[in-house]
Amino acid sequence: MIRPLVIFSAVTKNWIRSRSGLFFSIMFPVLLLLVFGAIFGGTGGTSASTLFVQNLDRNSGGTTTQLSSVFVEALNSTKTFAIKDVPADADPKVWARDNLGPLGGNIRIVTISKGFQNDLLNGTFKVQVGISYNLLNYTYHYLPLNDTVKPIYEQGLAQLQQYNETLPDARTSLTLMFDASDQSATVIKNIVISVANAFNYRIIGATSVIEFKEESVVGRSYGAVDYYVPGIIAAFIMSNGIIALTSITSEFKRRGIIKRLSITPLTKFDWIIGNVLSQTLLSLILTAIMIFVGWIVFRVQAIPDALTIILIFLGSVMFSGLGMVLGGLVKDVEAASALGNAIAFPMMFLSGTYFPMEFMPSYLQSFARFLPLTYFSEGLRYALIYKYTEGVLTNMAVVSALAVAFIILGSVVTRWKEK
Amino acid sequence: MTEIVVEVKSLVKQYGSLRAVDDISFDLHDGDVFAFLGPNGAGKTTTVEILECLRSLTGGSAKVFGYDVTKREDVKEIKKRIGVLPQEFSALDKLSVKENIDLIGGMYQKKLDTLEVIKLLDLEDKTKERFENLSGGLKQRVGVAAALVNDPQLVFLDEPTTGLDPKARREVWSVIHNLKRLGKTVFLTTHYMEEAQILADRIAIINKGKIAAIGSPQDLISQHGGRKTLVVRKGSKELAKTLQDKYGDTTLAQGGDVVVKVDDVKEMWQLLATLTDMKMDKEIEIQTPTIEDVFLKVVGARITEEGELK
């Protein structure tokens, strides 16, 4: 057991002293966590989406009507939008495009039509008359009225119906324009609709009888960053194993270092175990740093337990084994790097690491079930966040089986003797 | 009679239609420095790597310390007893000289103290220096140190000076002389004639997978080196004629040098006696054949600095 430890010590020292190795193995994942955390965790305040509003509902003096102004204020109060006014006489599309600013962005325009206030008031009045008619009608039909009151109700109902029919059928409209490629458009549309509905109810005088409460499905309260921490850890343990180890192995092979070692009593199994141990240490260091940075910066509450550490060890073995398989198959460094990237990147994005698999089409979800990272990333999330032991053990079983398979395959394809 | 360390009989290595090593046989004796001299692609490294148990053989047999290179259990014994400096030796860049030697040493149960090996190779002031910061010559010395760390009886040095500048090359030669002094058996491959002639007790000239000649440098020179030459600087036509009449094969070169070729040492002494009798006061130069002449004779070509035949 001494020789694998000698290899472990040497390759670990060689890696720790390599600035580029250290950067891509440790610093880069940490930077990625900070970026993801800043984007999705709301650290430093979220930036509002630009929404151009053209208010065409104006008084004779050119000023905007009271209700249309209140509606714009209601949009503003959501704190979702940075509202920019579009002049009434401008072509909104052209004006918005020219006023996006140097960094560009998506064009989203809400146009408040002319007559917004009048139509809103008329429409509201007609709705309220209708509500009064309905209330009287319910009373007439369901309350026990005596013969003296009944005719009065009947007369009132007839007059209300007649009056309501004379009122204009007024409706006002809002136009929302956006780019079809704008991925946030649906969300923005729904926010605008929600604001319009709330505005509508307020004018009618209705209040919502449905109370909305928000609760986390897990015991403790977690933020979005908590979701990313296990994902990023899993993804980089995978890329360190597949991309870095494959490149290092083929580089050592190209430079004759493996050849030199193979002339000694070292066996290829010793060599593989030494490298796997080194990758495991790297994975544990990466995990500790990620959790520490996550806790310091984002107050991430992911706490590794014994199961987590075992899973990380097995994941490192699995991906180091896969790296050894790839390193053994390819001849040169360039091919190793290309092959490593070709396998690692699709796996990174198709395994539910950075976003839930439910977002993907069903055939890709089925495909993801064949990817080793799916089980590792899911297991790690269950272990670190959900504390769902059964889920951890199920994924751990798959990871263990794959780890053994890859190590055996790696031993077979690693060439310890020239032809 | 010294012990036979390496015994190769009718060794063949075939790659598809290419026969890289073609039925070669030779022995290597304990304490000898044996040089495999030949151009690139001659089969030197292939042969050495078969003996290092790094490649399989196609035919014939190869034994190191009596162990068969094709038998798994024997291979373990061979690996314990040999030290190797592979062609284009490289090590872990970010590790120091000592750490790299420790890495190789860590593979053996029996090994020398690393600092002792470092001292032997005169690398003491580079002990903590990272491998990536060393010059080519120093890197080769680290390679030799790594080859010695298990205190091997047989050391393979595959092209140890290729690509090195003359100064670094001489440093490596000095190391090989020291190995000989320590009683190590050295198997050296090279395409440098001078290197083989200076360092080796025995040389095998190999070309196209076959051994063209084998023996001590002196034996090879006397067998294949051709005639000895005496040059009289700034001679005359009369002198040239006199020597032509007496010894034959005499020419008057451009610049007036008279060049006389004789068959052996006895005839050379006679020639010198003749010149003394003539009270000759001109400068003379005696040129003896070298391994390069031997190589030219047996292979029919020379080797360039890059190791190619020309």
Percentage of residues in chain B having pLDDT higher than 70: 99
Cβ pair B99:A10 closer than 8 A? yes
Query: A277: pLDDT confidence band, cut at 50, 70 and 90?
Result: very high
Cβ pair B94:A266 closer than 8 A? no
Judge whether B96 and B130 are in contact, CB under 8 Å. Answer: yes
Residue whose tokens read 């040098």? B257
**Beta strands at B228-232 and B284-287: parallel, antiparallel or unpaired:** antiparallel
Judge whether A289 and A30 are in contact, CB under 8 Å. Answer: yes
Span A237-256, average pLDDT: 87
pLDDT at A221: 62
By C-alpha distance, which of B184, B123, B180, B130 is closest to B155?
B184
CB atoms within 10 A of CB B296: 18
pLDDT at A135: 87
Cβ pair A419:B56 closer than 8 A? yes
**Domain spans of chain B, in order of start:** 4-223, 227-288
Give B-chain residues touching A3 at CB under 8 angstroms: 106-107
Span B173-195, average pLDDT: 93
Is B227-288 the same fold as B4-223?
A: no
Q: Has residue B76 got a pLDDT over 90?
A: yes
The upper half-sphere exposure of residue A63, i.e. CA atoms within 13 Å in the direction of its Cβ, equals: 5
Span B125-149, average pLDDT: 94
pLDDT, tens digit, 9 for 90 and up, residues B207-242: 999 999 999 999 999 899 888 899 998 888 888 999
Query: What pTM was computed for the model?
Result: 0.74
Query: A45: pLDDT confidence band, cut at 50, 70 and 90?
Result: low
pLDDT at A203: 81
Percentage of residues in chain A having pLDDT higher than 90: 31
Q: Which is more confident, A250 or B56?
A: B56
pLDDT averaged over every residue in chain B? 93
> Which ipTM score applies to this complex?
0.84
Q: Has residue A33 got a pLDDT over 90?
A: no
Percentage of residues in chain B having pLDDT higher than 90: 71
pLDDT at A334: 80
pLDDT, tens digit, 9 for 90 and up, residues A316-330: 999 999 998 988 888
Q: Has residue A216 got a pLDDT over 70?
A: no
pLDDT at A219: 58
Distance, in Å, from the CA atom of A111 to the CA atom of A192, rounded to the nearest integer, reads 12
Q: Is B86 on the interface with A (CB under 8 A)?
A: yes
Bridge partners of B214, per DSSP, are B204
Cβ pair A256:B54 closer than 8 A? no
Closest residue to B54, CB basis, from A3, A257, A259: A259
Span A324-350, average pLDDT: 85
pLDDT at A399: 97
Q: Has residue B56 got a pLDDT over 90?
A: yes
Q: Is B234 on the interface with A (CB under 8 A)?
A: no
CB atoms within 10 A of CB B125: 9
Element (H, E) at A110: strand A108-112
Residues 116-155 of B with CB under 8 A from A: 130, 146, 150
A306 to A309, A312, A398: CA distances (angstroms): 5, 10, 18
pLDDT at A212: 75
pLDDT averaged over every residue in chain A? 86
**What torsion do the CA atoms of A7, A13, A15, A18 make, to the nearest 10 degrees?**
-150
**Amino acid of residue B19:** R
Q: Has residue B82 got a pLDDT over 60?
A: yes
Cβ pair A11:B54 closer than 8 A? no
Q: Is A265 on the interface with B (CB under 8 A)?
A: yes
pLDDT at A199: 85
Give B-chain residues touching A10 at CB under 8 angstroms: 92, 95, 99, 103, 106
pLDDT at B202: 97
Give φ, ψ of B251 to 5 degrees: -130, 150
3-state helix, strand, coil in chain A (%, to 5): 65, 5, 25
Q: Which is more confident, A340 or A274?
A: A274
Q: Has residue A44 got a pLDDT over 60?
A: no
Distance, in Å, from the CA atom of B37 to the CA atom of B192, rounded to the nearest integer, reads 7
3-class state of residue A37 by DSSP: helix
Helix axes A306-329, A245-254, angle to 10 degrees: 40
Segment among A25-34, A56-65, A223-232, A371-380 with least mean pLDDT: A223-232
Q: Which CATH superfamily is domain B4-223 in?
A: P-loop containing nucleotide triphosphate hydrolases (3.40.50.300)
Cβ pair B79:A264 closer than 8 A? yes
pLDDT, tens digit, 9 for 90 and up, residues A115-159: 888 888 888 888 888 888 888 888 888 888 888 888 888 888 899
- Sign of the four-CA dihedral B16, B17, B21, B22: positive
Instruction: Among A259, A261, A278, pick the best mutation site for testing chain B contact (most B Cβ within 10 A).
Output: A259
| Nearest residue on chain A to B54, alpha-carbon basis | A417
Q: Which fold has domain B227-288?
A: Alpha-Beta Plaits (3.30.70)
Query: B167: pLDDT confidence band, cut at 50, 70 and 90?
Result: confident
Token representation of residue A405: 């398979």
